[in-house]
Amino acid sequence: MELRLDGKVALVTGGSRGIGRAIAAAMAAAGAKVMISSRKEDALKEAAAGMEGEVDWFAANAGDAEAAAACVDATVKRLGGLDILVNNAATNPYMGPIMGIDESRAAKTVQVNQWGVLLWTQLAWRAAMEQHGGAVINVASIGGMSVEPSIGYYNVTKSAVIHLTKQLANELAPKVRVNAVAPGLVKTDMARALWEPAEEAVSAKLPLHRLGEPEDIAGAALFLASDAASWMTGHTMVIDGGAMIRTGF
Protein backbone atom coordinates (compact mmCIF):
# COMPACT_ATOMS: atom_id res chain seq x y z
CA MET A 1 0.00 0.00 0.00
CA GLU A 2 1.37 3.40 -0.98
CA LEU A 3 0.29 6.05 1.49
CA ARG A 4 0.12 9.53 -0.06
CA LEU A 5 -0.56 12.97 1.40
CA ASP A 6 -0.51 15.00 -1.80
CA GLY A 7 -2.14 18.40 -1.40
CA LYS A 8 -2.03 18.23 2.41
CA VAL A 9 -0.24 20.52 4.86
CA ALA A 10 1.26 18.99 8.01
CA LEU A 11 2.68 20.60 11.15
CA VAL A 12 4.98 18.49 13.34
CA THR A 13 6.03 19.72 16.78
CA GLY A 14 9.37 18.50 18.06
CA GLY A 15 10.23 17.99 14.41
CA SER A 16 13.97 18.65 14.43
CA ARG A 17 15.10 15.26 15.74
CA GLY A 18 14.10 11.75 16.70
CA ILE A 19 10.56 10.56 16.12
CA GLY A 20 9.27 13.98 15.08
CA ARG A 21 11.94 14.37 12.45
CA ALA A 22 11.22 10.91 11.04
CA ILE A 23 7.48 11.63 10.90
CA ALA A 24 8.04 14.95 9.16
CA ALA A 25 10.37 13.37 6.60
CA ALA A 26 7.90 10.57 5.89
CA MET A 27 5.04 13.00 5.38
CA ALA A 28 7.10 15.25 3.13
CA ALA A 29 8.19 12.24 1.07
CA ALA A 30 4.51 11.28 0.77
CA GLY A 31 3.71 14.60 -0.86
CA ALA A 32 2.65 16.84 2.03
CA LYS A 33 3.91 20.36 2.61
CA VAL A 34 5.44 20.17 6.08
CA MET A 35 6.18 22.70 8.81
CA ILE A 36 8.52 21.49 11.55
CA SER A 37 8.79 23.20 14.90
CA SER A 38 11.02 22.96 17.95
CA ARG A 39 12.93 25.34 20.19
CA LYS A 40 16.26 25.63 18.35
CA GLU A 41 16.60 27.35 14.97
CA ASP A 42 19.88 25.70 13.99
CA ALA A 43 18.50 22.20 14.54
CA LEU A 44 15.39 23.04 12.54
CA LYS A 45 17.39 24.42 9.61
CA GLU A 46 19.56 21.30 9.53
CA ALA A 47 16.59 18.97 9.72
CA ALA A 48 14.60 20.76 7.02
CA ALA A 49 17.59 20.78 4.67
CA GLY A 50 17.89 17.01 4.96
CA MET A 51 14.31 16.24 3.90
CA GLU A 52 12.93 15.83 0.42
CA GLY A 53 9.86 17.80 -0.63
CA GLU A 54 8.57 21.14 0.65
CA VAL A 55 9.63 21.58 4.27
CA ASP A 56 9.58 24.84 6.24
CA TRP A 57 10.43 25.52 9.87
CA PHE A 58 9.39 27.77 12.75
CA ALA A 59 11.08 27.94 16.15
CA ALA A 60 8.62 27.64 19.05
CA ASN A 61 8.51 26.18 22.54
CA ALA A 62 5.65 23.66 22.50
CA GLY A 63 4.39 24.80 25.91
CA ASP A 64 4.38 28.52 25.05
CA ALA A 65 0.90 29.60 23.93
CA GLU A 66 2.08 32.73 22.12
CA ALA A 67 4.82 30.91 20.23
CA ALA A 68 2.47 28.06 19.34
CA ALA A 69 -0.11 30.47 17.95
CA ALA A 70 2.56 32.21 15.87
CA CYS A 71 3.72 28.85 14.47
CA VAL A 72 0.21 27.75 13.50
CA ASP A 73 -0.43 31.13 11.90
CA ALA A 74 2.83 30.90 9.95
CA THR A 75 1.94 27.40 8.76
CA VAL A 76 -1.39 28.53 7.33
CA LYS A 77 0.09 31.65 5.72
CA ARG A 78 3.25 30.09 4.27
CA LEU A 79 1.93 26.67 3.25
CA GLY A 80 -1.68 27.48 2.48
CA GLY A 81 -3.56 25.65 5.22
CA LEU A 82 -3.28 23.04 7.94
CA ASP A 83 -4.66 19.53 7.45
CA ILE A 84 -2.48 17.38 9.72
CA LEU A 85 -1.16 18.16 13.20
CA VAL A 86 1.38 15.89 14.86
CA ASN A 87 1.73 16.62 18.58
CA ASN A 88 5.14 15.06 19.12
CA ALA A 89 7.06 17.55 21.29
CA ALA A 90 7.78 16.27 24.80
CA THR A 91 10.09 16.83 27.73
CA ASN A 92 11.31 14.84 30.71
CA PRO A 93 13.25 17.04 33.14
CA TYR A 94 13.13 14.49 35.99
CA MET A 95 14.10 10.84 36.34
CA GLY A 96 13.49 8.88 39.50
CA PRO A 97 10.70 7.86 41.89
CA ILE A 98 7.61 10.02 41.57
CA MET A 99 7.77 10.98 45.25
CA GLY A 100 10.96 12.89 44.55
CA ILE A 101 9.74 15.23 41.82
CA ASP A 102 9.41 18.92 42.66
CA GLU A 103 6.65 21.30 41.60
CA SER A 104 8.73 23.12 39.02
CA ARG A 105 9.74 20.04 37.04
CA ALA A 106 6.28 18.51 37.39
CA ALA A 107 4.71 21.68 36.01
CA LYS A 108 7.15 21.78 33.07
CA THR A 109 6.37 18.17 32.19
CA VAL A 110 2.64 18.83 32.20
CA GLN A 111 3.01 22.13 30.32
CA VAL A 112 4.72 20.54 27.32
CA ASN A 113 3.54 16.92 27.30
CA GLN A 114 -0.09 17.35 28.31
CA TRP A 115 -1.25 20.95 28.01
CA GLY A 116 0.81 21.39 24.84
CA VAL A 117 -1.18 18.68 23.06
CA LEU A 118 -4.46 20.42 23.81
CA LEU A 119 -3.07 23.88 23.09
CA TRP A 120 -1.78 23.06 19.62
CA THR A 121 -4.94 21.14 18.78
CA GLN A 122 -7.10 24.09 19.81
CA LEU A 123 -5.03 26.39 17.65
CA ALA A 124 -5.10 24.08 14.63
CA TRP A 125 -8.87 23.65 15.02
CA ARG A 126 -9.52 27.38 15.13
CA ALA A 127 -7.09 28.23 12.34
CA ALA A 128 -8.19 25.65 9.78
CA MET A 129 -9.61 22.32 10.89
CA GLU A 130 -12.97 23.55 12.20
CA GLN A 131 -13.82 24.66 8.69
CA HIS A 132 -11.86 22.27 6.49
CA GLY A 133 -11.41 19.15 8.64
CA GLY A 134 -8.19 17.27 9.22
CA ALA A 135 -6.30 14.73 11.28
CA VAL A 136 -4.46 15.00 14.59
CA ILE A 137 -1.85 12.46 15.64
CA ASN A 138 -0.62 12.55 19.24
CA VAL A 139 2.61 10.83 20.22
CA ALA A 140 1.98 9.07 23.53
CA SER A 141 4.01 6.15 24.95
CA ILE A 142 3.50 2.64 26.22
CA GLY A 143 4.65 4.17 29.48
CA GLY A 144 1.20 5.71 29.66
CA MET A 145 -0.21 2.19 29.89
CA SER A 146 2.24 0.71 32.37
CA VAL A 147 4.32 1.41 35.47
CA GLU A 148 8.08 1.84 35.69
CA PRO A 149 10.38 3.38 38.30
CA SER A 150 12.53 5.90 36.43
CA ILE A 151 10.14 8.04 34.35
CA GLY A 152 6.91 7.76 36.32
CA TYR A 153 5.73 11.34 36.03
CA TYR A 154 6.54 11.51 32.33
CA ASN A 155 4.36 8.42 31.97
CA VAL A 156 1.54 10.10 33.89
CA THR A 157 1.44 12.84 31.27
CA LYS A 158 1.52 10.27 28.46
CA SER A 159 -1.42 8.47 30.05
CA ALA A 160 -3.24 11.80 29.96
CA VAL A 161 -2.42 12.11 26.25
CA ILE A 162 -4.06 8.74 25.59
CA HIS A 163 -7.25 9.82 27.31
CA LEU A 164 -7.11 13.28 25.73
CA THR A 165 -6.95 11.59 22.33
CA LYS A 166 -10.28 9.88 23.02
CA GLN A 167 -11.87 13.05 24.35
CA LEU A 168 -10.76 15.14 21.39
CA ALA A 169 -11.82 12.46 18.93
CA ASN A 170 -15.31 12.58 20.40
CA GLU A 171 -15.54 16.37 20.46
CA LEU A 172 -14.01 17.11 17.04
CA ALA A 173 -15.80 14.41 15.04
CA PRO A 174 -16.86 14.13 12.30
CA LYS A 175 -14.61 16.76 10.70
CA VAL A 176 -11.39 15.91 12.49
CA ARG A 177 -9.98 12.47 13.27
CA VAL A 178 -7.78 12.24 16.37
CA ASN A 179 -5.56 9.22 17.00
CA ALA A 180 -2.34 8.49 18.86
CA VAL A 181 0.73 6.31 18.59
CA ALA A 182 2.29 4.74 21.68
CA PRO A 183 5.94 3.90 21.00
CA GLY A 184 7.95 1.50 23.07
CA LEU A 185 11.64 2.13 23.61
CA VAL A 186 12.94 3.92 20.51
CA LYS A 187 16.57 4.84 19.90
CA THR A 188 16.34 8.61 20.23
CA ASP A 189 18.53 11.13 22.03
CA MET A 190 15.76 11.84 24.53
CA ALA A 191 15.56 8.17 25.52
CA ARG A 192 19.32 7.56 25.41
CA ALA A 193 19.63 7.03 29.17
CA LEU A 194 17.13 4.18 28.94
CA TRP A 195 18.74 2.18 26.14
CA GLU A 196 22.36 3.13 25.53
CA PRO A 197 23.94 1.51 28.61
CA ALA A 198 22.52 -1.95 27.81
CA GLU A 199 21.03 -2.01 24.32
CA GLU A 200 21.71 -5.69 23.68
CA ALA A 201 20.26 -6.80 27.00
CA VAL A 202 17.14 -4.67 26.56
CA SER A 203 16.67 -5.82 22.97
CA ALA A 204 16.94 -9.46 23.97
CA LYS A 205 13.90 -9.09 26.21
CA LEU A 206 11.67 -7.98 23.32
CA PRO A 207 9.86 -10.53 21.15
CA LEU A 208 11.24 -8.82 18.01
CA HIS A 209 14.76 -8.66 19.54
CA ARG A 210 15.50 -5.06 18.61
CA LEU A 211 14.77 -1.56 19.84
CA GLY A 212 12.61 0.76 17.80
CA GLU A 213 13.91 3.23 15.26
CA PRO A 214 12.19 6.60 14.66
CA GLU A 215 11.12 5.36 11.22
CA ASP A 216 9.09 2.57 12.85
CA ILE A 217 6.87 5.22 14.42
CA ALA A 218 6.83 7.42 11.33
CA GLY A 219 5.16 4.70 9.28
CA ALA A 220 2.29 4.44 11.76
CA ALA A 221 1.84 8.21 11.87
CA LEU A 222 1.77 8.36 8.08
CA PHE A 223 -0.95 5.71 8.02
CA LEU A 224 -3.06 7.59 10.59
CA ALA A 225 -2.75 10.82 8.62
CA SER A 226 -3.70 9.20 5.33
CA ASP A 227 -7.04 8.28 3.79
CA ALA A 228 -6.24 4.63 4.60
CA ALA A 229 -7.26 5.46 8.19
CA SER A 230 -10.34 7.49 7.21
CA TRP A 231 -12.66 5.41 9.44
CA MET A 232 -10.39 5.41 12.46
CA THR A 233 -10.52 7.89 15.33
CA GLY A 234 -10.02 7.87 19.10
CA HIS A 235 -7.51 5.02 19.09
CA THR A 236 -3.93 4.56 20.22
CA MET A 237 -1.66 2.35 18.12
CA VAL A 238 1.00 0.53 20.11
CA ILE A 239 4.33 0.13 18.31
CA ASP A 240 6.72 -1.48 20.79
CA GLY A 241 8.42 -4.55 19.33
CA GLY A 242 6.07 -6.69 21.40
CA ALA A 243 7.19 -5.27 24.75
CA MET A 244 3.73 -5.19 26.28
CA ILE A 245 3.16 -8.86 25.50
CA ARG A 246 5.78 -9.75 28.09
CA THR A 247 5.06 -7.06 30.68
CA GLY A 248 1.47 -8.20 30.98
CA PHE A 249 -0.07 -4.71 30.70
For the chain, domain boundaries: 9-247
Bridge partner residues of 178 (DSSP): 136
Active-site annotation holds for 154: yes
CB 20 within 8 A of CB 112: no
CA distance 129 to 68: 16
Question: How many residues does the structure list for the chain?
Answer: 249
Q: Reduced to 3 states, what is the DSSP secondary structure of residue 92?
A: coil
Instruction: Please indicate, yes or no, whether the overall pTM of this predicted structure exceeds 0.85.
Output: yes
Give the Cβ contact number of residue 80 at 10 Å: 12
pLDDT above 60 for 249: no
CATH topology of domain 9-247: Rossmann fold (3.40.50)
Residues 6+ apart with CB under 8 A from 66: none
pLDDT tens string 99-136: 999 999 999 999 999 999 999 999 999 999 999 999 99
Task: Provide the pLDDT for residue 192.
Answer: 63
Task: Report whether pLDDT(187) > 90.
Answer: no
At 132-180, the pLDDT tens digits run: 999 999 999 999 999 888 899 999 999 999 999 999 999 999 999 999 9
pLDDT in tens, 7-36: 999 999 999 999 999 999 999 999 999 999
* Residue 248 clears pLDDT 70, i.e. is over it: no
Q: Which residue out of 58, 115, 154, 223 is catalytically annotated?
A: 154
Higher-confidence position of 100 and 205: 100
User: Among residues 122, 114, 125, 86, which one has the least CA distance to residue 224?
Assistant: 86
